[in-house]
Structure 1
Amino acid sequence: MAEAVLFSLATNILNSLAAEAVKPGGSFASQKIQLLCGAENELQSLKDTIEVIQAVLSDAEKQQLHNQQVKLWLKRLKDVLYDVQDLLDDVATEDLRRKVASGNKMSKAVRVFFSKSNQLAYRLKVGNKIQELRKKLDRIKTDKEFLNLEQRRNEETRAIVRRRRTPAIEREEDIIGREEDKKAIIAHLLDSSSRESVSVVSIVGIGGMGKTALADLVYKDEKVKDCFELKIWVCHGDPKIFDVDLIVKEMLKYVKDEGQGDPEMRRNLEGIENKNEEQLRRLLGKVLEGNKYLLVLDDLWNDDRQRWLELRPLLMVGSRGSKILVTTRNLSVGLATDANSVIHDLHGLSEDKSWDLFRKMAFGDGEESLDWRLEEMGRVIVKKCAGVPLAIKTIGSLLYGKKEKEWLNFKERELPKIDKSDHGIMEALKLSYDHLPSHLKHFFAYCALFPKDYVFDKMTMIQLWMAQGFIESLDENEDLEEAGDRYVSDLLCRSFLEVEAIDDYTGEVTMFKMHDLMHDLALNVAGDECQMINLNEGSTSGGIRHASFGSQSPSLQNVALLLEANNLRTVLFLETWRTSESNFPPNEYRGILSKFRHCRTLGLGYVDFYP
């Protein structure tokens, strides 16, 4: 996300420098930082250089894919721009500290003059630092000419675009071309002829094919609801591990949250957070025993038969006709669960159904007649998507509202980059990402801090983006929360996010999710900028600025890794762990956290600092 980060950084710095450039008496006079007085010329030169560089970022973003020199140029630029922003933040903080601490006593003024925090000395130090950074930027500006970077006008990067559509939760009538698949899966689930009391049905298909959407259609069908006494949905989603006890706990939590079962069962499910693994396994047996249940294991990756055999006995206590519905990308996963399991291969949409879906996404509902030129290009584009719903939806959303010239440019210049393999789907998604406005690229990549299948609370994410300074209002009448809400709606309309929940009273989206392929894309474009870190396994990279931590009870040695990342702007702890369990005193953690001088977001909601 080089261009997204750099454009946002450059814009933020230019806004700060513009405020500093206003002469006393101007509208920003009250906001001027006194410690920068005397450095006006250096600041103006810095501003001019950044403006020149900012104009070529769009071209550099495209060239870096096949030009290693441009890629290195962007990395150098990013490091310097972060240093500039950090310096301005440091000076503003110091200026505010001095104003708060200032008094009227002459003796205090004399002490300050002769102290190490002398304003004259501090200003000289700041001036030298600004000059040093300006020289670095001047060299980078000169290098852009050597690299033949051109200024490209990109209105969508600079302007916040209003879109006409509002996303809604995907209804059955919005899912196109899966009627026969749905009937076949339901027939398998209602079939009680298996010799086993509990049998497995697997939906197998490549990423983006709509396996989860199909499973959801089946899960909500009235015939299926009437057939099963318990219905449980668990999304595993981690290709690296198969955690039996996590699946058990998620099953119990789902039953509890959905209020299923009789009053005694619901009472037994109280306090499951405090039960150990053995207690949870026994409780699951009581919940399933004697009940005809449907368990959906969504996005399963485990093809290790031995790991499955650890879970299987816990599930075999259901009454006859119980079913496990698995969605997976790999046939070997379905076979590992049960060699006799029913395998339903989910293929791409037919050409006609693909066109119906594309037409809906690219032209909207209610379009009776289409421009024949757009329809002709659209049908060519649809063939390249190979019947994959996610690719069709994403590219259709990209072209929504575009002019014929933009359609033609996409068809001739970018569509040839897509092949019809599984890898081609990611290429299609990357093309849509390339066309996002820079501010939306930044928000999308920031989602890489969270694991697959994470359910995002919209207002929490907007607040995180606000803390980082990512959000800009459309005008003075729009507050940042409204702007953030508009950004979320835009990503939803473009199919980069999926609606998870809507407020029944207001109709507003409250929760959203990200398709696992979109999550893969977010990880790819975020690079070393945003990282999820397991403190018991990995280490922090030099370029990291936003980090989330998912390890429980990190050791003394691994917690020390945090010291290497003193430029972090985001620190989020996503899982519960206690400092008392890590053999590291709580005061030492506080000392580490105090080193994050440039941190703008600190999330400690799941960390217990008490012994």
Structure 2
Amino acid sequence: MGEFLLTIVVEGMLKKLASLALEGIDLAWGLKGKLQKLNKSLTSILAVLHDAEEKQGREESVKIWLQKLRDVAYEAEDVLDEFGYEVLRQSVEGSTPSRKVSKFFSASSNPIAFGLHMGKKIKKINDELVEIKNEVVGLGLIIGRERAPQTSVSPITHSFLEKSEQVIGRDGDVSEVINLLNISCDDQVLSVVPIVGMAGLGKTILAKLVVKEIKDRKLFDETIWVCVSQKFDKQRILGEMLQDLLGTNNGALSNLNTIVSQLKEKLEGKKFLLVLDDVWNEKLQDWESLKNDLSIVRGSNGNVIIVTTRKQQTASIMETSPGRRHELKRLQDEECWSIIRKMVETGNDKASISGNLEVIGKDIARKCGGVPLAARMLGGLMRNSKEESDWSSIKNNPVLDSRGDDGDDVGILPILKLSYDHLPSYLNPCFAYCAMFPEDHRIDKEQLIQLWMAEGLLRTTNEQ
């Protein structure tokens, strides 16, 4: 269990303590004072836990503090579970402590011995929590610090541009890809033009811009979009092509020959553009198998496939003309600042950015490494506050200096982690829960809420 779930654990223990007090069980076992002290310590620690969970990534002392707290929290949770078990056992036997304290324990149980035994455990936990609580001031943890919600980016891709997708500095890339498509249409029956680049550069958005331009200029009879992702499944790809052409989801067709036959019928006499987004496959035989079926369904000459991938090997095995690919480059620092500025100015507070803030903002933009996604994520953080201290805190966060310049995917991950750390702590486990689903799985909103509720992850308020 990660640090972000400590909040859930501590809040759960406070609820258990409240339940014990309500039933009068603390009095029945003579543990009222000890349990009240435990409640007080947990409440104090909960107040700084949000801040600690953010800082633990960059301050080793806070990370050690959280580790100690986690160990004690698990121990305390076990003790409270013992209480819960005893309450349940007595409930099954038909006796309740609030009505018959003298008969609360069965003949095999001794209330005095049980109270002394549990009292020793609680005292040990209280002593450890007091020690942990006393370290709060020295660590500089802030009481009650919370974060505003951030917008997460959905991994499901489609061909339509969202209003929230900031596109800056890519006009030249669109023109170059269109030019490659025109050249490819002239000399091949089925051509492939890969768009290659590291994570976060905007390969998918560039493909969307190209599709939009192609539709406006009516260069192809049909445009088809399929999100491939890490599992290269030929039947799924062909099936989703058919669904995209039909504009409906007829369910997964189990017969590959039927899918190919319907695609051939639908594309008869037509020139098509197919976008295979987010391809990871590096096996030549898998690609050759798909290409053979695509050659069967082709309606006419001049069909083109755009492949977006972060892997050079994938581009090499799929491209039909060596070198006929588009290498997506990093943005300039000024372009990253433009993205950040637009993100900030679309927030609730649309006041102008002061000169001092602009200086700090441009320093942050330089740390984006030319990656548009990094600029978007940081802009999302910065628009929640226009205080110089908050922007300086982001600028000076060592996470922004931990990214390499080798083009590896790790470049964007620390910034995504920084954005995750700035979520309200009660949303962290909700967000992390989504990792239970397969990549690119279409998550039903209502079902997800029900699952969160079943896991006890949703925090209630007085109003809701």
Correspondence 1:67-466 to 2 at 5 A: 70=65, 72-73=67-68, 75-77=70-72, 79-80=74-75, 83=78, 118=106, 121=109, 131=119, 134=122, 137-138=125-126, 140-141=128-129, 144=132, 150=139, 152-157=141-146, 161=148, 170-171=162-163, 174-191=166-183, 193-221=185-213, 223=215, 226-238=218-230, 241-256=231-246, 258-259=247-248, 272-273=252-253, 275-288=254-267, 290-317=269-296, 318=298, 319-340=300-321, 342-364=324-346, 367=350, 369-402=352-385, 403-414=387-398, 417-421=401-405, 422=408, 423-466=410-453
Displacement after TM superposition at 1:227 (Å) = 3.2
| Residues in 1 aligned to 2:366 and 2:113: alpha-carbon distance in whole angstroms | 62
Aligned counterparts of 1:282 and 1:133: Cα–Cα separation in 2:
71
Shift of the 153–323 alpha-carbon distance from structure 1 to 2, 3 Å rule, reads: same
For 2:46 and 2:234, the matched residues in 1 are separated by 50
* Cα distance, 1:376 vs structure 2: 0.4
Shift in Å, 1:375: 0.3
Change (3 A) 1:415 1:377: farther
Deviations 1:524-558 (A, max 9, x none): xxxxxxxxxxxxxxxxxxxxxxxxxxxxxxxxxxx
8 Å Cα contact 1:232-1:294 kept in structure 2: yes
Q: Deviations over 1:57-79 (max 9, x none)?
A: 44476347646855653552453
CA 1:130–1:324: 2 relative to 1, 3 Å = farther
CA offset at residue 332 of structure 1? 1.9
CA apart distance, 1:133:
5.7
1:325 is paired with a residue whose SS is strand
Worse overlay, 434-443 or 369-378: 434-443
- 125-134 vs 184-193, which moves further: 125-134
Residue 293 of structure 1, CA deviation: 1.9
Query: Could you tell me whether the CA contact under 8 Å between 1:219 and 1:225 is conserved in 2?
Result: no
Contact kept, 8 Å, 1:178 with 1:214, in 2: the verdict is yes
Q: Equivalent residue of 1:201, what SS?
A: strand
TM-score of the two chains, using structure 1 as the length reference: 0.61
Quote the Cα distance in structure 2 between the aligned partners of 1:85 and 1:151.
30
> Which residue of structure 2 aligns with residue 538 of structure 1?
none
Residue correspondence of structure 1 range 12-27 to structure 2 within 5 A? 12-22=12-22
| Matched AA of 1:473 | T
Task: Please state whether the residue corresponding to 1:236 is helix, strand or coil.
Answer: strand
Aligned residue number for residue 44 of structure 1: 36
The Cα shift of 1:8 comes to 2.1
Q: Residues 439 and 470 of structure 1 are in contact (CA less than 8 Å); yes or no, is this contact kept in structure 2?
A: yes
Question: Given the superposition, is the C-alpha separation of residues 345 and 174 from structure 1 closer, same or farther in structure 2, using an over 3 Å criterion?
Answer: same
CA contact (8 A) 1:80 1:133 kept: no
Q: Distance in 2 between matches of 1:398 and 1:34?
A: 46
1:9 aligns to 2:17 (yes or no): no
Residue 47 of structure 1 deviates from its aligned partner by 1.9
**Pair 1:270–1:412, CA change in 2 (3 A):** closer
Count of residue pairs the alignment pairs up: 439
Amino acid at match of 1:333: T
User: Displacement of 1:35 after TM fit?
Assistant: 10
Supply the distance in 1 between the matched residues of 2:122 and 2:308 (Cα, whole angstroms).
55
Q: Are 1:236 and 1:298, in contact at CA under 8 Å, matched by a contact in 2?
A: yes
Whether the aligned pair in 1 keeps the contact of 2:193 and 2:319 (CA below 8 Å) is no
Tell me what 1:589 maps to.
Answer: none
> Structure 2: which amino acid aligns with 1:380?
D
2:179 alignment partner, SS class: helix
Give the 3 Å change call, closer, same or farther, for CA 270–16 of structure 1 in structure 2: closer
Tell me how far apart the structure 2 counterparts of residues 248 and 86 of structure 1 sit (CA, whole Å): 52
Confirm or deny: 8 A CA contact 2:26 2:35 kept in the other structure.
no
Q: Which amino acid aligns with 1:184?
A: E
Q: Identify unmatched segments of 5+ residues in structure 2.
A: 155-159
Relative contact order higher in (CA < 8 Å, ≥ 6 apart): 2
Return the alpha-carbon distance in structure 2 between the equivalents of residues 119 and 35 of structure 1: 20
2:15 alignment partner AA: N
Matched AA of 2:129: K
Amino acid at match of 1:346: L
State, as a whole percentage, how many aligned pairs show the same letter: 33
Question: Secondary structure at the residue paired with 2:43?
Answer: helix
Classify the secondary structure of the residue corresponding to 1:327.
Answer: strand
Contact 1:297 1:325 in 2 (8 A): yes
In the alignment, residue 303 of structure 2 is paired with which amino acid? Answer: S
Cα RMSD after superposing both structures: 4.1
Secondary structure of 2:325's aligned partner: strand
Normalised by the size of structure 2, how large is the TM-score? 0.79
Q: Is the 8 A contact 2:161 2:208 kept in 1?
A: no
Report the alpha carbon displacement of residue 84 of structure 1 after superposing the two structures with TM.
Answer: 5.5
Q: 1:48 to 1:169 in 2, by over 3 A?
A: farther
Q: Secondary structure at the match of 1:299?
A: strand
